[in-house]
Amino acid sequence: MKAVMVDQRFFKDYSMEQELCAKHGIELVLTDVKDEADYIEKCRDADAILIVYSPTPKSVIDKLEKCKVMVRYGVGYDVIDVEAATAKGIAVCNIPDYCAEEVAAHTAALALDCLRKITYLNSTVHNGEWVAGAGYPIRRLSSMTYGICGFGNIARTAAKFMKNFGFNIIAYDPYVGEEAFEKLGVKKVELDELCRESDLISVHVPLNKSTFHLIAKEQFAMMKKGVIIINTARGGLVCQEDLLDAIDAGIVKAAGLDVLETEPITDPNERILKYDNVIITPHSAAQGVEAIGDLRRKVVEVAAAVLEGELPFNVVNKRDLLK
Ligand code: NAD
């Protein structure tokens, strides 16, 4: 059997994956796909496809002749057309349980950076200024409300971290029962209330058709003046242009973004780069030696399990495949 890893450039040494594949009788082919035609040519006869960021649309999926499983290196699987894969009987898997602690820590780090102006003040010092109160006013953390959009693994871990700073925490997730909120001392609210009440908002929902631009002009208009926005989930969840307009309008005072609507930034004149109150990290919230090691091992294990006839818990289209 053959597994093709289509985003080889992301890692260096593949000996761990190669050994694991060999144990399961799988040949691991490492490559980088340039475009759809290249993707189809390299994966036409693959039994498994391992994907970091390469878009995997219907036009590619329809041309695959043997594929049984696609595994996304990560939690979000928005790069794969799951409907098209399901129609071809392909199991789509994610790795939902490798980096909640890292992404929650990154969320807290971006939030604290914006709240305490660390990056901003550091740049003023490097530019020859020594002004303790430079920039926007800082508020006491225990006087503030932290609103969490989505209340899954990462959000709950972030809530636990942030609780220690004394925030009042509220969260919006219509798919999670009251008990999970109560357990962490978090008040369950609707999205409108979250927008109106929060001094700090972070977003932790999957990107799909219904969550695209979940936070946009209408939501910014409801927010308190001086709110801080953190996004470590997916760029498409927060309308980037509306966010920058909200900063210009004095609604949002700072933002911390690990993800953008278009990644990577290629134009040095891009509007978002002109804002010194927007801190950007290059989609690195999940980084960490333990997390990435776990991720890479789990990707191969889940691909092998599906090829051996199992449907593990992280097959995201399991219900539809079993219909
Ligand atoms: P999760 O599945 O545990 O939680 C997602 C939560 O979102 C669920 O509780 C779900 O009920 C909720 N949700 C879904 N649709 C919603 C909606 N319309 N409104 C409100 N809530 C909604 O996932 P997680 O592990 O917490 O990860 C969250 C997201 O973070 C992932 O989907 C992924 O895109 C992103 N992520 C980013 C990185 C990174 O490197 N920056 C790493 C891992 C995950």
Per-residue pLDDT of the chain (323 residues; tens, 9 = 90+): 999 999 999 999 999 999 999 999 999 999 999 999 999 999 999 999 999 999 999 999 999 999 999 999 999 999 999 999 999 999 999 999 999 999 999 999 999 999 999 999 999 999 999 999 999 999 999 999 999 999 999 999 999 999 999 999 999 999 999 999 999 999 999 999 999 999 999 999 999 999 999 999 999 999 999 999 999 999 999 999 999 999 999 999 999 999 999 999 999 999 999 999 999 999 999 999 999 999 999 999 999 999 999 999 999 999 999 98
> Taking the alpha carbons of 176, 179, 182, 183 in that order, is the dihedral positive or negative?
negative
How many Å apart are CA 284 and CA 247, to the nearest integer?
24
Active site residue 263: yes
Q: How far apart are the first and last CA of the chain?
A: 26
| Distance from residue 205's CA to the centre of ligand 1 (Å) | 3
Amino acid, res. 51: I
Measured by CA distance, the residue closest to atom 2 of ligand 1 is 152
Ligand 1 surroundings by CB, under 6 angstroms = 74-76, 96, 99-100, 103, 150-155, 172-176, 204-207, 210-211, 232-234, 258-259, 283, 285-286
pTM of full prediction above 0.85: yes
- The answer for residues whose C-beta is within 8 angstroms of residue 229's C-beta and 6 or more apart is 201, 202, 203, 215, 238, 243, 252, 254, 255, 256
Q: Is 65 a catalytic residue?
A: no
Question: Does 218 participate in catalysis according to the annotation?
Answer: no
Query: How far lies 91's CA from each of 1, 77, 191, 293, 311, in Å?
Result: 16, 12, 33, 23, 8
Between the CA of 273 and the centroid of ligand 1 the distance, in Å, is 26
Phi-psi region of 254 (alpha: psi -120 to 50; beta: other; left: phi over 0): beta
DSSP-assigned letters across all residues of 31-70: -B--SHHHHHHHHTT-SEEEESS--B-HHHHTT-SS--EE
Q: How far apart are CA 201 and CA 255, in angstroms?
A: 9
Query: What confidence tens digit (pLDDT) does each residue in 124-175 have?
Result: 999 999 999 999 999 999 999 999 999 999 999 999 999 999 999 999 999 9
How far apart, in whole angstroms, are the C-alpha atoms of residue 165 and residue 52? 35
Distance CA 249, CA 99 (A): 35
Cα distance between residue 105 and residue 160, in whole Å: 10
Count the Cβ atoms, other than its own, within 10 Å of residue 321: 15
CA of 96 to the centre of ligand 1 (A): 9
Q: State the Cα–Cα distance between residues 62 and 88, nearest whole angstrom.
A: 7
